[in-house]
Amino acid sequence: MNFVQPIRDPEVIRAIKHYLKGKNERNYILFLVGINSGLRISDILPLRVADAKKPYFSIRETKTKKQKRINITPSLRRELKGYIQGKEDYEYLFKSREGVNKPIGRSMAYKILREAADYVSLDEIGTHTLRKTFGYHFYKQTKDIAMLQEIFNHSSQNITKKYIGINQDGMDNAMKGFKI
């Protein structure tokens, strides 16, 4: 398993959004849900249209088995509203082209992200990049590491900082000014 990074640059996020929106609406919405919710891909893929009609996602986390409720941001709500129009409540949000009503798999989600990452020349990308990107930008905007720790169900703030790459940012900046 490779270590993946968050997408730190807002311009790169915009470029990926633009790329995905132009290619495939499902893949665009998948990216938006990931970077705006902080949910794991294993909790995003089983979402159904009915889940997107509420003002929040209420799920039982696949990994931890804990109940979790995440408010849907106003911008994500607007995008979801258009996307789910005409779809039935029981349909998966990220429906596969294979089968009658099956969600795409984790490997397809990875391929979607990998293709978008290649388009913007990004390395260290995986499905966890979406969750880490949410965490990185949540922290940058709020500076509330305790809240992010709670959202992610991490046992310590240091784990959360390492997870979202804040420690890496500090090391990278320190090395820029280092010389012998």
Q: Which residues are catalytic?
A: 40, 63, 128, 131, 154, 163
Q: Cα(114)–Cα(43) distance, rounded to whole angstroms?
A: 19
